[in-house]
Amino acid sequence: MWQRYSVAVRRLSFSSSQHQIKSKPIETISLPQLSSQDINSHEHQLAIADAIRPYHQSQTPLLLTNLNSKCDAIYFWRSIQYWQAAVPENTPVDVELGRSYNTGNRVSMKFGDYLDYLSKVTEQEEKDAEQQEEVAYLAQNELFAEVRNDIPTPHFCSDGSFNVGEGKLYHSMLWLGPRGTVSPLHYDPLDNLLMQIVGNKRVLLYPPDKGNGRDNNNSGSWHYAGLNGNQYNTSAVDVENPNFEEHPNFQSAPTPYECEIGPGDLLFIPSKWWHHVRSFSKWSASANVWWR
């Protein structure tokens, strides 16, 4: 069943030999972080809100480590058999063919078929260290109701009395995929809380630019990559291996924050902060919420 959806995509490379102007190594800044030990376990929801509030007010990213390390999702989501039992196999999902969600090749399929694919890909990787050429990324799907209670969403996302935004929760999303899947450089119009459950990801975060918004065609912006059909909040610049001939403005990009997120970690990404995310574990599962 899966074969009819498969498509060959180029292997992502960190080599810049194909560029006439050689890429420079990415210089980054460590992201501010707090651990679960820094947050008072008494009145847990209030303590989480108190910890994140100053960062929300200043619109500064924050990594909260191990905050969800004891939730049900940490134990259950790492088992593909659990997903098969929890979510009906005929549930429709949207899947990106390629390592990035903006490849433009998005198909609908049954969740059971996607799990079959993910199982086969991870089994193959255990036998062969070579990364798969054919990749499918279950990206930006609404979190299934059947597993929503496995992962606690901080109450401040839906309760304005915590004074971390207005308390308006818009979406809870799910991200599943094998090693090497990428969310390209983009920003979200809402505040974002990324919750890592299975595997590890690297995140690069760039501060907002004055051009953020519908005028992302500002040719003077560092993230400008031409009018090539991308979403207004997405840049085509490959931040890991930028081509400065095609995207000369990126040479003036601000130094990004960098962090690695693992199981149990939460990452607060303020509205309109540009970010790029790459998975580098055998497979990964994440959820996120957008709120205001």
Q: Is residue 237 part of a domain?
A: yes
| Residue 68 structural domain | 22-74+170-291
Q: Give the CA dihedral 127, 131, 137, 138, nearest 10 degrees.
A: 20
Q: Is residue 227 part of a domain?
A: yes
Say whether pTM exceeds 0.75: yes
What pLDDT is stored for residue 207 in this prediction?
A: 93
130 three-state secondary structure:
coil
What pLDDT is stored for residue 245 in this prediction?
A: 85
Q: Is residue 198 part of a domain?
A: yes
Contact present, 202 and 277 (Cβ < 8 Å)? yes
Positions in the chain short of pLDDT 50: 2-23, 213-216, 227-229
DSSP assigned state of 40: -
CATH number at residue 53: 2.60.120.650
Q: Is residue 155 part of a domain?
A: no
The Cα 217–Cα 126 span in angstroms is 44
What pLDDT is stored for residue 99 in this prediction?
A: 59
What pLDDT is stored for residue 5 in this prediction?
A: 40
Structure tokens at 54: 């100053």
What pLDDT is stored for residue 14 in this prediction?
A: 30
Q: Is residue 255 part of a domain?
A: yes
Q: Is residue 164 part of a domain?
A: no
What pLDDT is stored for residue 219 in this prediction?
A: 58
What pLDDT is stored for residue 132 in this prediction?
A: 58
Contact present, 164 and 64 (Cβ < 8 Å)? no
Q: Is residue 34 part of a domain?
A: yes
Q: Is residue 178 part of a domain?
A: yes
What pLDDT is stored for residue 285 in this prediction?
A: 98
What pLDDT is stored for residue 90 in this prediction?
A: 98
Which run of H or of E encompasses 167? none
| Domain total of the chain | 1
Closest CA to 99 of 181, 202, 10, 174: 181
